[in-house]
Amino acid sequence: MILSIDTYSSICGVALFDGEKLIAGNQERVPNRHSEVLLPMIDSALKKAGIQVDELTGVAVISGPGSFTGLRIGVSTAKGLCMGSDLPLISIGTFDAWGELVQELANEGKKTEIGILIDARQGDWYGSVFTHNGWEKPICTDLQAWILQHPEVKTWVYESDQTLSGHGKSWLNVYDRLHDHHLAQAAARIGFHRLKNGVIENLHEFEPVYIKDFIVRVPANPSLI
């Protein structure tokens, strides 16, 4: 059974997946409180499933990009659980997890490409594009998510949830508008299959994927979200 952890944004979420169905899952919007609620949330999920940490087969964690503090809390917690119970750690990129969720949106809207935008604050945005190969699961066309600057994306954010930009392409601002989608559940499903294929991380070397350097500055414009 896979435990997954999502702390990349103001959402804190966990899920337990046994390869066939979701056993337990919960998420809350907890700005700046991940360190307070994450461990109790994990404990609650394990109790609901009736298992202990050492009965898990692995721990999957959203590894970024995203909130610097949130990612550090999620990754350090996942590494601690793995080291304490000799479990494998599976890293799930933020865009990989979103790709798992938005494929249904793409199918319904008959889009050939889906772009994901995440507010990186201070005028920056993380973005990545997924394409379809027929009806197969979408793949990421750019594995290194890039930062999109504020002037290039504000119209996509303001106009609608799915503003068209180019033929067959739909951009989604996922920071707030799709917050009810459970990213931890998507991470658990991906983590189960990656573990099955032996795709795990080195516990001592693994770090979150920040992409953007941590710089404290006063933004020129207030955040859009």
180-213 pLDDT per residue, tens:
568 899 999 999 999 999 999 999 999 998 877 6
Residues 30 and 100 in one domain: no
Peptide bond preceding 65 in cis form (omega within 30 of 0): yes
Residues 125 and 88 in one domain: no
Q: What three-state secondary structure class fits 129?
A: strand
Would 128 be classed as within a structural domain? Answer: yes
Residues 84 and 121 in one domain: no
Which has the closest alpha carbon to 72: 216, 215, 210, 219?
210
Residues 160 and 121 in one domain: yes
User: Looking at residues 80-109, what average pLDDT do you find?
Assistant: 84
Residues 117-140: tens digit of each pLDDT = 777 776 677 777 776 654 345 455
Residues 81 and 192 in one domain: yes
Residues 89 and 101 in one domain: no
Would 203 be classed as within a structural domain? Answer: no
Would 142 be classed as within a structural domain? Answer: yes
Q: Which residue has the higher pLDDT, 94 or 88?
A: 88
Residues 147 and 81 in one domain: no
Distance of alpha carbon 64 from alpha carbon 157, whole angstroms: 21
User: Looking at residues 37-64, what average pLDDT do you find?
Assistant: 96
Which has the closest alpha carbon to 201: 65, 67, 60?
60
The domain tally of the chain equals 2
Which residues form the domain of 154?
95-173
Residues 29 and 131 in one domain: no
pLDDT confidence of residue 207: 94
Would 204 be classed as within a structural domain? Answer: no
Would 221 be classed as within a structural domain? Answer: no
pLDDT confidence of residue 167: 40
Would 215 be classed as within a structural domain? Answer: no
Residues 53 and 122 in one domain: no
Distance of alpha carbon 133 from alpha carbon 136, whole angstroms: 6
Q: Would you say how long the chain is, in residues?
A: 225
Which has the closest alpha carbon to 94: 21, 172, 157, 174?
174
Question: Model confidence at 112, in pLDDT bands (50, 70, 90)?
Answer: low
Residues 33 and 114 in one domain: no
Query: Residue 32's beta-bridge partner residues?
Result: none
Burial class (CB in 10 A: 0-12, 13-18, 19+), 34: buried
